[in-house]
A and B are shown apart, each in its own frame.
Chain A
Amino acid sequence: MIQLMELTVNGERHDLAIEPRRTLVDVLRHDLGLTGTHVGCEHGICGACTVLVDGAPARACLIFAAQVEGAEIRTVESLSPEGELNDLQQCFSEHHGLQCGFCTPGMLMLAEGYLAEEPEPTTEEIREVVASNLCRCTGYQTIVEAIDDCASRRRAAFQEQLAGSRV
């Protein structure tokens, strides 16, 4: 059975005619060609497919696309629409928060969603959050440092903005 649905991904609306058994990650990759989101385990353990659903990090392999009709989906492609690394990606690069890169899109979207909700996390809190996604290369330390550094930079930029608006 084919189902018609409309999905909003990275601010763009897409009309789709797909089988209801298509998970969100399969729709992103196969129907929309957004291959930045990776598929790992397909049962919610590895976190490679993490995307944002209405701003919250979620496993795209554990959601049927039909369920998120009407929601705002964001994938790793949204971080750098112009092709330039955003601040979070820059931090991952500077801190060597990736090696093979397979887990990176999931890690980035996890961090993006988490920092938006919790701009001042402790290192321990970051460690606990990234434990949800598997990385077999880095040993996590550099990922934690990258996210921590990005959070600091965003806070500093925010303070600067506040100071600027007071003048």
Chain B
Amino acid sequence: MKPAAFEYHRARSVAGAVGLLTELGDDAKVVAGGQSLVAMMNFRLARPEHLVDITHIDGLSGIRREGDTLRIGALTTHRAVEKAELGDFGVLSRAMRWVGHLPIRTRGTVGGSIAHADATAEWCLLAVLLEARIVAEGPAGRREIPAGEFFLGPFTTALEPDELIVELVFPRPAPRAALTEYADRKGDFALVAAAVDLDADRVVLGGVGPTPVSADCPSSGTSHSRPPVSWADAVAGSLELRDEPGISAHYRRGLVRTLVERACEEASCGC
């Protein structure tokens, strides 16, 4: 279908975008890569009266390493992260192959994915797993929101309507982390996605709740020996899952167990 009519506004700066959002209120949506929003507008699931286009703002895209910290601009595309050499943040690049397909990754942005807050989205899982901070700018200036407090429900975040995500800050390298997932066809939304960080003893799952679900695991120690396969059983066993149309709780639990195990293996070899 065709989207409903809207008024188009092009922001030239972050302050300009925030000004537009403040002025237009709840009737405005931010559009960046548009890979989720435009599809929803074409279906008329979303009918914003105003669209604030931030893709022409300079300086919002790019990846910057500052000591142990990695900062990723909100307009950075998935493809740019996939192609970047990120060293001990390599889990981010490797995870990108799970984001949709190539033509989606060339347009879709990191900030957009976080703001959209699909509970199976790779960026949402990675942000929670690696304790990223989401930098948002609003009329009162900038604030940093920990990823663990950002995702409130399905497609619902702690972002205020007049705030714009400008950057994602990953505070520490994750040399032994990995993300993997399963969908019936490659590139589809994941039925279950699993991300693990062996150094932080943490597993984050997508597709098992309304937001990314975090599970702490028994310490794996700092050795580079084989990761604890027991994580997979512990995590899968601890989840409360219900039968849903097309996918039973039993099947989903099996997926969780297998994917956590696979992610652990991948994380331990860093491949």
Residues in A lying within 8 Å of B, measured CB to CB: 1, 3, 19-21, 23, 26, 42-44, 47, 50, 53, 56-59, 61-64, 66-67, 70, 110, 114, 128-129, 131-132
Contact B1 A57 (CB under 8 A): no
Give complex CA distance A63, B35 in Å.
Answer: 8
Interface of A is mostly: mixed
Contact A67 B31 (CB under 8 A): yes
Minimum distance in angstroms from B4 CB to a CB of chain A: 7
Contact B106 A43 (CB under 8 A): no
Minimum distance in angstroms from A3 CB to a CB of chain B: 6
Which of B3, B35, B55, B102 gathers the greatest number of chain A CB atoms within 10 Å?
B102
Minimum distance in angstroms from A129 CB to a CB of chain B: 5
Contact A62 B39 (CB under 8 A): yes
Contact B53 A23 (CB under 8 A): no
Check A64/B38 contact, CB under 8 A, given A43-B43, A131-B185: yes
Interface of B is mostly: loop
Contact A42 B102 (CB under 8 A): no
Q: Does B6 contact A (CB under 8 A)?
A: yes
Minimum distance in angstroms from B23 CB to a CB of chain A: 17
**13 sampled A-B residue pairs with Cβ under 8 A:** A21-B4, A21-B5, A23-B2, A26-B2, A42-B2, A43-B39, A56-B107, A57-B102, A62-B107, A64-B8, A110-B102, A131-B185, A132-B100
Total A-B contacts with CB atoms under 8 angstroms apart: 91
Give complex CA distance A86, B2 in Å.
Answer: 33
Residues in B lying within 8 Å of A, measured CB to CB: 1-8, 10, 31, 34-35, 38-39, 41-43, 51, 53, 55-56, 79, 100-104, 106-107, 185-187
Contact B38 A23 (CB under 8 A): yes
Which of B7, B53, B55, B101 gathers the greatest number of chain A CB atoms within 10 Å?
B101
Check A64/B51 contact, CB under 8 A, given A114-B102, A131-B101, A131-B185: yes
Contact B1 A21 (CB under 8 A): no
Task: Select which of B2, B7, B107 is within 8 A of A63 by beta carbon.
Answer: B107
Contact A132 B38 (CB under 8 A): no
Contact B106 A56 (CB under 8 A): yes
Contact A61 B186 (CB under 8 A): no
Cβ contacts under 8 Å, B7 to chain A: 1, 20
Which of A57, A58, A62 gathers the greatest number of chain B CB atoms within 10 Å?
A62
Contact B2 A62 (CB under 8 A): no
Minimum distance in angstroms from B7 CB to a CB of chain A: 6
Cβ contacts under 8 Å, B51 to chain A: 20, 64
Contact A110 B186 (CB under 8 A): no
Cβ contacts under 8 Å, B2 to chain A: 21, 23, 26, 42
Cβ contacts under 8 Å, A50 to chain B: 103
Give complex CA distance A64, B7 in Å.
Answer: 12
Contact B6 A56 (CB under 8 A): no
Give complex CA distance A152, B247 in Å.
Answer: 43
Give complex CA distance A9, B46 in Å.
Answer: 29
Give complex CA distance A87, B264 in Å.
Answer: 44
